[in-house]
Structure 1
Amino acid sequence: MVETTPAAPSRSRDLRKESVEEVLNRVEAGLGVVLDREAVARKRRSIGARSDRGTWVRIETRPLVKIVAQGQAANGMEAANLLDGIAKPAWYAALSWHDAQGEAVWRADEVELVTDAPLQRRAMREVSLSDAWWATLNASLDALSRQHTTRIATPDTETITQSLVTREIERAFPGRADTTITEEWVPAHADLNWANLTWPVCWIIDWEDHGMAPRGLDAANLWASSLGIPGLPERVWQERRGDLETRPGKLMALFYCAKIVNDSSVPGELREITTHEADALIADLQP
């Protein structure tokens, strides 16, 4: 179990809604590449584009206060290059700088270009994942759990701690479960949702949050990301039952259920499904 000081609140930003031309110019000059400006992929805190070198460049901004509180550099993708036996893009180079005005650190990582498309929750009703796809995912997650890193996982950019797990679960389901985690932690991707997996070939992308975490964190995140999609949560549970049927695995599943329930933007139907699953997990966790 690992404890760190929680990060102080920081100004929220959304890269989908602000100009990033100056950032792209700086990255092109620093890495010596030309980015495809016509096909920039934008997320809330990251942007990405194909380069003229046939590589992919991912650019992220992270509040400086979070990096300081986490006690580790914003080099998760670079550090992940040391992990073996995992279906992940190779890392080539990086550029980072301190944005004093925005009180943030920008980082650009140039990695192997993966041409298989990222999956999205909304597409999972139509996509058929092959047995080979699941075998690659399982082999990768099993290999990851056998390795070691000094980094601590930061799901949703927040350092995973006992206090964070307890806070989220207690907020959603007060007084209903013992949230204490005593088992040894293992390395995790820490952002394993469908958007960070590709198809038809399985690649695991975006490793900036990886680090040590309670066993089952990744499997629980993928399972929770599947709730409401017929048959998919059951398949995830079946494939990753070795993680999810342990006590920490069930706690991680309850943790992600709590995060859904605590999110006021979640639709009512998904909230009901999640609450039902949480009730079952709480019953299983009783001594």
Structure 2
Amino acid sequence: MSAAAGPSVGSPSAAVFVPPHDHDDQVRMRHAHAAAARTFKVTPAGPDVWGWQGRTLGRRAGRWWLRLVCAPQDKRNLRLWEGTATAHQALPRSVPRPRLHDVLEWSADRHAYRAELSEYVPLPALQTGGPVLTVDLELPSLWWADLRLALEATSTVVTDRQAVRQQWVDKNLTRFLGIPAFQVSAWTTGHGDLHWANVTGPPLVMLDWEGWGQVPVGFDVGLLHAYSLAQPVTAARIRHEFAHVLNTPAGRAGELVALAQLLQVASRGGHPDLAPRLARHAEHLTGTPVPI
């Protein structure tokens, strides 16, 4: 789920969250980050960049980005925990992304830690402060072509990782869209959390690959479009550039799953300004009113 994503790997300019509420947790995370820096023999100098619920802490360290992930020792989500490393191993080099340099894992005080040293990306993300687009973007045709090529290259990767599960569709589609759940007929390998705080440009660099895996066809671009609904020019550009995906039955199904996931986030208080637009667009696609 996109709501659970941390800040982007390799860049400080993606969705930024607040430090943990508990001061002791802040101190513990900073100490662990410093310990990883000593092991890697790097010197962090950039500001703290916290991830969702204080689960991650990243800082620039020269030409590197040092990101620390933490979880209770018995509650690690292995898909997210290992996502950056498995993406580094599996994705074609043609997919523009920060390269992972080294990984370190350890446990202490009933917590598991994972430190990842990646290339630092000096480009800002196209949206800061969160994934929802707040201003229309004027991106050149080459950028859109690069995004299409990157998603096509990603789709060629064979993996058993699941970024979206049919079980989630079965359980939640009716609840959030008001339509009968359907069997996803076409799956592909995707980013899994494609939004404007996870891309730079130009040139294009795609950040935060921890949640990559199998998604319904149309899910990635449907998610990017949904996060753009408040900016109609950019939203229309996405539909134009990816008409070959979104204007197909499989692509429409993937877009509906993306909308349902964001409506679930909205039901928990996330993206309150975007929620009515999500509901209206879902109704436009299905003909069924969506209560919010």
TM-score when scaled to structure 2?
A: 0.78
1:26 aligns with 2:26: no
Distance 1:63 1:23, change over 3 A: same
Preserved CA contact (<8 Å) 2:170 2:182: yes
Which has the higher mean CA deviation after the structures are superposed, 91-100 or 198-207? 91-100
- Is residue 75 from structure 1 mapped to residue 82 from structure 2 by the alignment? yes
Q: Is the CA contact 2:85–2:100 (under 8 Å) kept in the aligned structure 1?
A: yes
Work out which of the residue numbers 163, 181, 184 in structure 1 matches 2:184.
Answer: 181
Change (3 A) 1:73 1:256: closer
Report the CA distance between 1:47 and its aligned residue: 2.2
Select the structure with the greater relative contact order (CA < 8 A; seq sep ≥ 6): 2
Q: What is the aligned counterpart of 2:144 among 112, 131, 134?
A: 134
Contact 2:192 2:220 in 1 (8 A): yes
In 2, are the aligned partners of 1:15 and 1:46 still within 8 Å (CA)? Answer: no
User: Partner letter of residue 210 of structure 2?
Assistant: E
Q: Specify which of 163, 167, 176 is matched with residue 167 of structure 2.
A: 163
CA distance in 2, matches of 1:226, 1:188: 19
- 1:64-213 counterparts in 2 under 5 A? 67=76, 72=79, 74-81=81-88, 82-84=90-92, 85-99=94-108, 101-102=110-111, 105-120=112-127, 121=131, 124-125=134-135, 127-153=137-163, 160-174=164-178, 176-183=179-186, 185-213=187-215
SS of equivalent residue, structure 1 residue 47: strand
The alpha-carbon deviation at position 100 of structure 1 amounts to 5.5
| Runs of at least 5 residues in structure 1 that lack an aligned partner in the other structure | 1-12, 154-159
Q: State the shift of 1:63 in Å.
A: 5.3
2:229 match: secondary structure: coil
1:168·1:255 contact (CA, 8 Å) conserved in 2? no
Distance 1:14 1:99 in 2: 23
Cα–Cα, structure 1 residues 225 and 161, in superposed 2: closer, same or farther, change >3 Å? same
The structural deviation recorded for 1:76 is 1.4
The answer to whether the 8 A contact 2:246-2:252 is kept is yes
Amino acid at match of 1:149: T
Residue 233 of structure 2: aligned partner: 231
What's the offset of the Cα at 1:267? Answer: 6.2
The residue that corresponds to 1:4 in the other structure is none
Question: What percentage of residue pairs aligned between the two structures are identical?
Answer: 26
- Output the amino acid matched with 2:147: L
Superposition pairs of residues 204-283 of structure 1, within 5 angstroms: 204-262=206-264, 263-264=266-267, 265-266=269-270, 270-283=274-287
Distance 1:33 1:269 in 2: 41
Q: What's the CA shift for 1:207?
A: 0.8
Distance in 2 (alpha carbons) for counterparts of 1:32 and 1:15: 25
Q: Output the CA distance in 2 between the equivalents of 1:131 and 1:275.
A: 30
Native 8 Å contact 2:126 2:197 kept in 1: yes
TM-score, reference length from structure 1: 0.79
1: CA distance, partners of 2:242 / 2:190: 14
Q: Quick one: distance in 2 between partners of 1:73 and 1:257?
A: 22
Distance (Å, rounded) in 2 between the aligned partners of 1:278 and 1:65? 38
Task: Provide the C-alpha distance between the structure 1 equivalents of 2:217 and 2:73, rounded to a whole number of angstroms.
Answer: 28
Aligned residues: CA RMSD: 2.6
